[in-house]
Every structure is written in C-alpha cells, then in structure tokens.
C-alpha cells in the first residue's frame, strides 16, 4: 500500500464520519462544525489528486467563508437543539425519501460505472494516479483554461455573482430608507 | 521505491522541530518584550525582577499558568469550550510551514532550502489557514455561554471576515509581478536592495495588507473583540489557567507568523544589500546569514506591532467596518487594476507601477472621503444621529 492510498483512506473516512455527524448531531453548531471537518477532509482528497488549487479554494471558500457565516447566523438566532418534533414530518418526509433514493441511485451508478470502465489497481491506473500526484496541476494552467476555453462559463458565473451582490445591496438599502 | 531517508524524513523533521521551537521561544520573547517595550514607551520599568532584565518573567508566568486551577464553569458547552483554544493555536502555528526563513545551505551534499514546504499554492495556503483562525474565537465565545463573550466573538468574526478580503486582494498585485504563488519565488524575485522590494512597488497594497494583518491578529487598534472597558475580556472572559494562556500564545504566534509573511511578501525576505551572499550562494555561512537577516526583519516588524499598540486608540465598531470596507478594500482593488494595466502599458517597468499605485490610491481615498462627507452632510441635515447602521445587528442581540 503506497502512502497516497493510506492518506486516501484516512481523508475518506474522516469526510464520511464528518458527513454522518452533520445529520446525527442534535445541535446545529455541532452539525456546522462537522461539516467543516468534512470540507477539510475533501480538501485533503483534492491534494492527493494533485489539484492543489482546488483544495485551497475549497478551504478558503467553504471552510473559511461560508461556514463562518453559517455559524454567525446560528449564534445570532441562538438556535437550540432540535427536538424530535422538529424533524421532517408528513409530505416533507416523502419528498426527502424520494430524493434520498435518487441520490443513492446516482452514487451507486457512478461507482459501478467507474469500477467497470477502469480497472482499479491495474498498472495503467496506478501509473496515472502516480503521474497526477507527482505532477500537480499548476494554477497557471487553470488560469489559462478559465480565460480561453471556458471564458464564457467563467463570465456568466461572474455575472450571476454580480447580480447576487447588487441584489443584496438593493435589499439592504430599501430597509434603511423605510426605517429612516 | 528508493527513497533517500535523510532527504525525505530526517531533514524535514529537523526543520519542523527547529521552527516549532523557535515559534514557542518567540512567543516567550514577545511576552517579555511587549511588557518591557510598553514600559519603556510609558517611561516606566516593566517587569525586571525575575532573571537579568526580567528575562525569565515569561517562564515564571508559564509556571503560574500551569499550576493554577483548571476551572471549567458549569454553564459552558464543555467539548467546544475545551476545543476552542486549540482551534485558535493550530492554524496560527501551521501557517509557518510555507514561509521561507532563509535562502538555502548545502550540508554534506544535500541542498537544504530553509523552508519546511515550498507548496505550489503557498500564498493560497496562507489565506486558507488564516480563514480558519476565526473559528477558535467564535467557538470559544459561543461555548462560554456568556453574553460578553458572545458579543466579543460576533465582533471578531465580522471583523475577520471583512479584513480577510483586503488581505487576499492586496497581495494580487505582488503575485502579478512575481508571476508565482510560491513564497520562495516571491522572496527571490525581490532584489538585494531595499528600493527593489515589493513594499515600494506596491506601497498602498503594503499598507492595506499590514493593516489587515493587524486586524486578523486582533491587535490594537483592532482588538474590539476583547475591549476591556465594554466586554470584560471579550471572547476569553470565561477562560482561566492554561486555556487562557493558550489563547494568548495563539495571538502572539499569529503576530510572529504575520510579520514573517509581511517580510516575505513585501520587505524582501532574506535579502539585504547582498549581505546574504557572503560565502557564496548555497553555502552554510550564506544560509545562516540569510536566516539572521530574516529574523531581524521579522523582529523589527514585531516591534512595530507593539509600537502601534501604544500609539493608536481602539476603533469604534462602525469606524472599523467603514475603514475596512470603504477605504482598505477600494485601495486594494485599485492596486490590482493599476498594477495590471501599467504592467501591460510600460512592459513591467517597476518605477511606473510604483508611482501609479500611489497616485491611484490617493485618488480612490479622496473620492471615498468626498462621498462620505457628502453622505454625512445630507444625513445630519435630515436627522442628527451619527451613522450607526452596522451596529443595528448587534443591538438585537443586546
């Protein structure tokens, strides 16, 4: 077993345990913290795949920014522990079950497909993995792709973000005027 | 696989042990020098009884902290209460892994770069780990189950999120000119002489970055999270004994690491008038000298930290937010636009970029100040209350 495999199992286990903990904890703060652990472990998985930039962005954006806002809101609203009654009931439960089954089916389909198409443990696959780990994808390459091949999606994404930004400012402004 | 054990395990472990211990000793030195320098600035002595010049005072403090009763109040959330100090200390400590603390030296045929890990994404790693530092404060504040602690934690998280933006944007100009995310290449890209260092080329960005570092480390004038007059001791009100000490160790550690990062990015790293090449590039002597230069530069910057503490009074909360969002952020953004544009126009002429950055920053600050003045005039005409919009969210909690 090579070091990458060992690290893969460590990070994989941590992210799974974290993900289960998110939905098992009764208290929202603990759930949020478990989610941070999961994000962190996923960043570790990205590093094993040689995608250092993606790993850094994962930590900066998800663990560093979004989850801080989550915690901020949870603390400001002072949410207590969830009771049994607060759990999903009635129609919501049905929707949740259907969506859950769909998601599980997707996951199984991808896993089976991947197992059939690539021989895990074959020499070719191992060489490919080793090449990825030893020659991490340079940030330079990502930048070049973003500004050439994927220019349109990149610009569209930034426009969406800009629209969201302006929307927030407009909402905040309106509230101010009514209060004054 | 044929792995050279010396190169892969022995040398990194030695470097890690060296740097980790240097950091802890650095914290002790900072505790001593903060109290002595503060004393000197206020024309008093400071602690001078334990050891020569009071040098053993930090050890005495440490022993006192260790032997105090480790009190955990009944009303706290115990797991998180215990975890919080570590959540603050660990990020402060692991950032240093990517900071190059000297050039390189060759011992017994091994060329040893004086840096623990030269990551491809060095600077992004620093930003990523910095952004995790806020959790220690927020979780500690919340787990204490005390309104003063919670208010301190909320203030601090808002402050850290706001100033992180400046922290990230201010370095983009530097990255554009050094064309690399690796800290070693950024430090090497700056010449031997002070006028070739990044802080002159990117002066506004340097000021913005430094200010953001002060805010990220929760130092005066940005220590609203622990404003004694308002919040007892802020987020660590409920902490005592060694847990309290760990909060302080983390603060000093992030100061040291922050200074080291500023020195690497803006103050030329280990360069100083070519002194770092005495004895030939890559020799042991050159390595040691370059480390000494880096050490002294970081020390001087740490002195500035203490100096500022006794020079500037604390900001008010709305002033803090206004300053971060309306001045620092536009200045950092202007440095990106100007550096990029002038890089193309002047084909990378450092002098023009430096001048352009300063001019643009002046224009931006003037525009913002003018708009704020107009805004204030129209507001005071309508009603005679100062702008306190950012405080509204906190009022709800109180």
Q: CA B186, CA B178: separation in Å to the nearest integer?
A: 6
Which residue ranges make up each domain of chain B?
72-397
Model-level pTM?
A: 0.84
The distance from CA B128 to its chain's CA centroid, rounded to whole angstroms, is 14
pLDDT, one tens digit per residue, over B335-388 is 899 888 888 888 877 788 888 888 888 888 888 888 888 887 776 666 555 444
Nearest to A53 by CA among A132, A136, A113, A123: A136
The complex's ipTM works out to 0.78
pLDDT, one tens digit per residue, over B14-64 is 888 988 898 889 998 888 888 888 888 888 888 888 878 888 888 888 888
Q: What is the DSSP letter of B50?
A: S
CB B372 within 8 A of CB B327: no
Q: CA B159, CA B143: separation in Å to the nearest integer?
A: 20
pLDDT, one tens digit per residue, over A96-152 is 889 999 999 999 988 888 777 666 556 666 677 667 666 667 778 888 888 888 999
Q: Distances from the Cα of B381 to the Cαs of A174, B295, B389, in angstroms?
A: 20, 54, 17
3-state secondary structure of A62: helix
Q: Which of B1, B83, B119, B124 has the most A C-beta neighbours within 10 Å, making it the best mutation to test the interface with A?
A: B124
Q: Is A49 on the interface with B (CB under 8 A)?
A: no
Q: Distances from the Cα of B238 to the Cαs of A20, A95, B71, B78, in angstroms?
A: 32, 45, 9, 12
Q: Is B152 on the interface with A (CB under 8 A)?
A: no
Query: Which B positions 165-204 lie with beta carbon below 8 A of chain A?
Result: 168, 181
Q: Do A68 and B161 touch (CB under 8 A)?
A: yes
CB B193 within 8 A of CB B273: yes
Q: CA A152, CA B265: separation in Å to the nearest integer?
A: 33
Q: What angle do CA B118, B123, B127 make, to 5 degrees?
A: 130
Q: Is A147 on the interface with B (CB under 8 A)?
A: no
Long-range CB contacts for residues B273-279, cutoff 8 Å, separation at least 24:
B273/B192, B273/B193, B273/B194, B274/B192, B274/B193, B276/B103, B276/B192, B277/B192
Beta bridge partners of B113: B104
Residues from chain B that touch A72, judged by Cβ atoms under 8 A, are 138, 154, 157-158
pLDDT value of residue A31: 87
Please tell me the distance in Å from B397's CA to the nearest CA on chain A: 7
Q: Which of A75, A126, A171 has the most B C-beta neighbours within 10 Å, making it the best mutation to test the interface with B?
A: A75
CB B196 within 8 A of CB B352: no
């Amino acid at each position: 077993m090579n070091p990458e495999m060992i690290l893969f199992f460590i990070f994989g286990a941590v992210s799974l345990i974290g993900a289960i903990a998110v939905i098992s904890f009764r208290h929202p703060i603990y759930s949020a913290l478990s989610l941070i652990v999961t994000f962190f472990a996923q960043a570790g998985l990205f590093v094993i795949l040689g995608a250092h930039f993606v790993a850094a962005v994962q930590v900066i954006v998800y663990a560093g920014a979004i989850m801080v806002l989550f915690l901020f809101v949870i603390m400001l609203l002072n949410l207590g522990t969830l009771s049994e009654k607060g759990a999903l009931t009635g129609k919501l439960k049905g929707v949740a079950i259907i969506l859950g089954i769909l998601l599980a089916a997707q996951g199984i389909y991808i896993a089976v497909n991947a197992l059939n198409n690539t021989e895990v443990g074959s020499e070719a696959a191992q060489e490919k993995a080793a090449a990825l780990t030893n020659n991490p994808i340079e940030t330079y390459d990502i930048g070049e792709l973003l500004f050439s091949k994927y220019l349109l999606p990149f610009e569209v994404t930034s426009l969406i973000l800009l629209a969201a930004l302006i929307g927030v400012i407009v909402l905040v402004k309106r509230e101010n005027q009514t209060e004054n | 696989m044929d792995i050279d054990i010396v190169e892969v395990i022995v040398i990194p472990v030695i470097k890690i042990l060296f740097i980790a211990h240097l950091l802890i000793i650095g914290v002790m030195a900072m505790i001593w020098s903060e109290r002595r320098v503060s004393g000197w600035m206020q024309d008093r002595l400071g602690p001078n009884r334990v050891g020569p010049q009071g040098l053993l005072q930090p050890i005495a403090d440490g022993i006192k902290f260790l032997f105090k009763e480790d009190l955990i109040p009944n009303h706290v959330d115990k797991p998180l209460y215990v975890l919080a100090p570590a959540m603050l200390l660990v990020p402060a400590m692991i950032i240093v892994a990517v900071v190059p603390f000297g050039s390189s030296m060759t011992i017994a045929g091994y060329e040893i770069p004086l840096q623990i890990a030269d990551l491809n994404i060095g600077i992004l790693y620093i930003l990523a780990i910095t952004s995790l530092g806020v959790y220690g404060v927020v979780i500690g504040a919340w787990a204490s189950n005390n309104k003063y602690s919670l208010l301190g934690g909320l203030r601090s998280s808002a402050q850290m999120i706001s100033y992180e933006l400046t922290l990230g944007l201010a370095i983009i100009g530097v990255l554009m000119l050094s064309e690399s995310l690796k800290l070693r290449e950024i430090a090497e890209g700056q010449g031997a002489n002070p006028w070739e260092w990044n802080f002159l080329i990117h002066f506004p960005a340097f000021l913005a970055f430094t200010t953001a570092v002060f805010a990220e480390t929760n130092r005066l004038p940005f220590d609203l999270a622990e404003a004694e007059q308002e919040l007892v001791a802020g987020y660590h009100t409920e902490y005592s004994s060694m847990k309290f000490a760990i909060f302080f160790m983390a603060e000093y550690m992030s100061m040291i690491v922050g200074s080291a990062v500023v020195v690497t990015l803006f103050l030329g790293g280990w360069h100083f008038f070519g002194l770092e090449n005495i004895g030939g590039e890559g020799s042991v002597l050159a390595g040691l000298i370059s480390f000494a230069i880096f050490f002294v530069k970081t020390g001087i910057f740490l002195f500035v930290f203490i100096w500022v503490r006794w020079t500037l009074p604390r900001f008010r909360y709305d002033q803090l937010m206004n300053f971060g969002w309306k001045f620092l952020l536009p200045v950092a953004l202007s440095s990106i636009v100007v550096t990029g544009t002038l890089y193309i126009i002047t084909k990378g002429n450092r002098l023009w970029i430096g001048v352009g950055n300063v001019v643009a920053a002046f224009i931006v600050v003037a525009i913002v100040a003018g708009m704020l003045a107009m805004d204030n005039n129209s507001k005071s005409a309508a009603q005679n209350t100062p702008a306190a919009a950012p405080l509204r969210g906190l009022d709800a909690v109180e």
